[in-house]
Amino acid sequence: MKKYIQLLSFLILGACIGNAAARGIYQSRADFLNEVFVGDLPRPALLWLTGDIRKTATLILQHKPSRLRLRYWARATRSTWVLEEIGKEKPITIGIVINQGRIEDLRVLAFRESRGDEVRHDFFTRQFSQATLKPDLQLSNSIDGISGATLSVRALHKLARLALYLDQQRQSLD
């Protein structure tokens, strides 16, 4: 009986450590921005989510945006967005670089869920590279899912579409 309790304790400990390992901050927002702009960080700008912009953001996210304005950093045709979306229960923070209407880089900065952290790896995020937003608000690239990480994949997919849309709006307002 004692051996069974020890084995059970070991298995529970292993499961807890495995779940904890999936959570983490992989890069701070400041470090991401400094890397993107090679230390020459532009001043942040704000995009207000009102009117048609808010309606379209709601359509893309499939829920109302939690904020009325979003901060972004831009220089010429290049913009960077740090956005959050709930995966299953907790927010996933990603940094997205848009250059000339195409995704240049998409990176998971913080992942707080207990499962689905495979979305942070390069083999997954590079699928978004060079994706554009089609008129129907879908990505031009097909994104393969990851078994067991469906909600995390959906969250990144939504945020990629949102960043491309917001970049279009930013450019039309300039």
> Which sequence spans correspond to the domains of the chain?
25-173
Give the tens place of pLDDT for each residue, 14-33: 444 444 445 699 999 999 99
The answer to whether 160 and 44 have CB atoms below 8 angstroms apart is: no
Other C-beta atoms lying within 10 Å of the C-beta of residue 98: 28
Instruction: Identify the residue whose tokens are 């554009």.
Output: 132
Other C-beta atoms lying within 10 Å of the C-beta of residue 159: 24
Give the tens place of pLDDT for each residue, 66-92: 999 999 999 999 999 999 999 999 999
| Vertex 26: Cα angle to 20 and 31 (nearest 5) | 155
Q: Residue 174: what pLDDT? A: 72
Q: Which long-range contacts (CB under 8 A, 24 or more apart) does 15-24 make?
A: 19/114, 19/115, 22/111, 22/113, 22/114, 22/115, 22/116, 22/117, 23/111, 23/112, 23/113, 23/114, 23/117, 24/110, 24/111, 24/117
Q: What is the arithmetic mean of pLDDT over 154-170?
A: 97
Query: If pLDDT is split at 50, 70 and 90, which confidence band does 168 have?
Result: very high
